[in-house]
A and B are shown apart, each in its own frame.
Chain A
């Protein structure tokens, strides 16, 4: 029971931390406001590193994450199915032996 309580407590603690982190993220600019007028053009590589946000790493991260999640889930499902099938076969054989 202590394990169950610890698991549930750990889950809710994780959710709370994630919520706090997400809440701390910067709010977006209000929709409908026009962007400020530009007085000069700046090449993107002259921006400070935190303002250079290329799309490719985000795109690659998103697609990699999706494929990894499904791959791991299929592996977990296959492992659980194999284990249960093995137990069913073992118990079935034991029952047959005890009947005969």
Chain B
């Protein structure tokens, strides 16, 4: 509850922090989409990693707790991915003159988002045993995370390279790291809530089983 309050306060103050950031010389006002776009993109990648790691642990140990974490992380990937995939083109329309280009980063991000959707559809409609199939799918998504991150350094694209962030001046770096902290906190709060939902569903299933046993 305390983390959720801090997170809400950080988001409430974020417009002030972002407004204090310097304008970028060539893109001007529209570049300020960056302060929500990039943290959500990072959380999108983190969701993919968490989903993959939890899936590996589930496949090795068979512990349902890891499966619940993987399922929750896949839903986070869909939400943060949606934010990334919508805010990026709004920025690109002004900065690049087009909503979308099929470069390595945008294409692989779209693939990653569809993998997260596929994971959720498989869990919802796959029936018994779908958790192991979904875990395998999550591994594919995790491999794609690394590809998305380094794609801008190895392939020809108009996305800026990863070296842009470390070189940011303080007036632009502070708002960015502030938003990264807010989005990280939001990710943790939402993930915990989503895991709790799966735990409650597991409790509900065990209660139904108890009722069946009692006849």
Contacts and interface: CB of A to CB of B under 8 A. Distances in A.
B204 A87 contact: yes
B155 interface: no
B201 A27 contact: no
Contacts of B86: 62, 65
Interface string A21-55: 01101111101000000000000000000000101
B78 to A, nearest CB: 10
A98 interface: yes
A77 B197 CA distance: 8
A11 B117 CA distance: 10
B86 to A, nearest CB: 6
B17 to A, nearest CB: 13
B114 A15 contact: yes
Nearest to B4: A74
B121 A58 contact: no
Most interface-central of A31, A73, A98 (chain B CB within 10 A): A73
B207 A4 contact: no
B121 A11 contact: yes
Interface in B172-206: 186, 190, 193-194, 196-197, 200-201, 203-204
A63 B114 contact: no
Interface in B83-102: 83, 86-87, 90-91, 93-94, 96-102
B32 A70 contact: no
B101 A91 contact: no
Contact of B214 (A63, A74, A95): A95
A94 interface: yes
B137 to A, nearest CB: 15
Contact of A22 (B40, B99, B121, B207): B99
Contacts of A63: 15, 33, 36
Contacts of B194: 77
Contact of B93 (A11, A58, A73, A91): A58
A59 B200 contact: no
Given A8-B121, A8-B125, A81-B196, A66 B87 contact: yes
A66 B85 CA distance: 11
A69 B75 CA distance: 13
B158 interface: yes
B112 to A, nearest CB: 14
Given A87-B204, A91-B208, A27 B98 contact: yes
Interface of A: 4, 7-8, 11, 15, 22-23, 25-29, 31, 53, 55-56, 58-59, 61-63, 65-67, 69-70, 73-74, 77, 80-81, 84-85, 87-88, 91-92, 94-95, 98
Q: 6 tightest CB-CB pairs across the interface, nearest first?
A: A55-B30, A55-B29, A22-B100, A91-B207, A84-B200, A62-B87
9 contacts: A7-B121, A8-B121, A22-B99, A59-B32, A69-B82, A77-B194, A80-B197, A95-B210, A95-B211
